[in-house]
Chains A and B, each alone.
Chain A
Amino acid sequence: GESVGLHLPTLSVQEGDNSIINCAYSNSASDYFIWYKQESGKGPQFIIDIRSNMDKRQGQRVTVLLNKTVKHLSLQIAATQPGDSAVYFCAENLKTGANNLFFGTGTRLTVIP
């Protein structure tokens, strides 16, 4: 079964505020983690990934934090925009070096203009 889970199924934020989406995982053998964004009627879109030898990685307006001690992953979105409204999924590979991913159930982010 999947070991990836999310603390909050829905999140509403004001436009311009920062968003934080959290994810818990239970498999210490996972060495690759990834965040996807999925808009209605579309396939998931890659946002950012991180490997277990790192604890932070930054992209454009997004930051992923990995805390292996408590098996926690988070996605931070700076200056959230209406176009960020979507469902966000975290995923892990469950086994060191494995390619296939196992996804959590997702968090719906709604940005209030």
Chain B
Amino acid sequence: GAGVSQSPSNKVTEKGKDVELRCDPISGHTALYWYRQSLGQGLEFLIYFQGNSAPDKSGLPSDRFSAERTGGSVSTLTIQRTQQEDSAVYLCASSLARGPYEQYFGPGTRLTVT
């Protein structure tokens, strides 16, 4: 079956512009996660969706970051008024329901803010 997919694979934007990053989780996975990975660094947790529950937003670095998950499937991470420090790879993962279980990662979106 298909794995986690993300789009676009690369995004270059100018400082101050808004960007939207998309994640399609594995079918049947009700948990969805967003992480950020700066160059040569580990993964930083951003936000977590589980079914219809309120998302865990505790990792979002500022109010410029937000995420939605429509219909319990596709998710969009939005960064408003992008800054150069937002440049990173944004990774999405999904997993089975109540766990914890292993998370399956997508290939990521490389965001560059110029």
Inter-chain contact A101/B41, CB cutoff 8 Å: no
Cβ-defined contact, A104 with B100, below 8 A: no
B105 touches A99 (CB 8 A): no
Q: Give the shortest distance, in Å, between B102 (CB) and chain A (any CB).
A: 5
Closest to A95 in B: B100
A63 to B108, CA, bound (A): 28
Task: Say yes or no: is A93 at the interface (Cβ < 8 Å to chain B).
Answer: yes
Judge whether A98 and B43 touch: CB under 8 Å: no
Query: Main secondary structure on chain A at its contact with chain B?
Result: loop
- B48 and A100 within 8 A (CB): yes
- Give every chain B residue within 8 A of A31 (Cβ-Cβ): 100
Any A CB within 8 A of the CB of B25: no
Give the shortest distance, in Å, between B84 (CB) and chain A (any CB).
Answer: 22
Q: Is the CB of B43 within 8 A of A100?
A: no
Give the chain A neighbours of B107 by CB distance below 8 A: 42-43
Size class of the contact patch on chain A: 20 to 34
Interface size class, chain B: 20 to 34
Question: Looking across the interface, which residue of chain A has its beta carbon closest to that of B4?
Answer: A43
B45 lies within 8 A of A102 (CB)? yes
- Contact residues in B for A100 (Cβ distance below 8 Å): 33, 45, 48, 56, 59
For A4, the closest partner residue in chain B by CB is B42
Chain A minimum-CB-distance residue to B31: A99
Q: Which residues of A contact B45 (CB under 8 A)?
A: 100-103
Q: How far is the CA of A84 from the CA of B68 in the complex (A)?
A: 36
A36, A99, A101: the one contacting B50 at CB < 8 Å is A99
A98 CB contact (under 8 Å) in B4, B59, B100, B102: B100
Residues of A whose CB lies within 8 Å of any CB of B are 2, 31-32, 34, 36, 42-46, 49, 89, 91, 93, 97-106
18 A-B pairs, CB-CB below 8 angstroms? Answer: A34-B103, A36-B105, A42-B107, A43-B93, A43-B108, A44-B91, A46-B104, A49-B102, A99-B31, A99-B48, A100-B48, A100-B56, A101-B33, A101-B103, A103-B35, A105-B41, A105-B42, A106-B42
Interface on B for A, CB 8 Å cutoff?
Answer: 4, 31, 33, 35, 41-45, 48, 50, 56, 59, 91, 93, 95, 98-108
A-B CB proximity, top 5 nearest = A43-B105, A103-B43, A32-B100, A105-B42, A100-B48
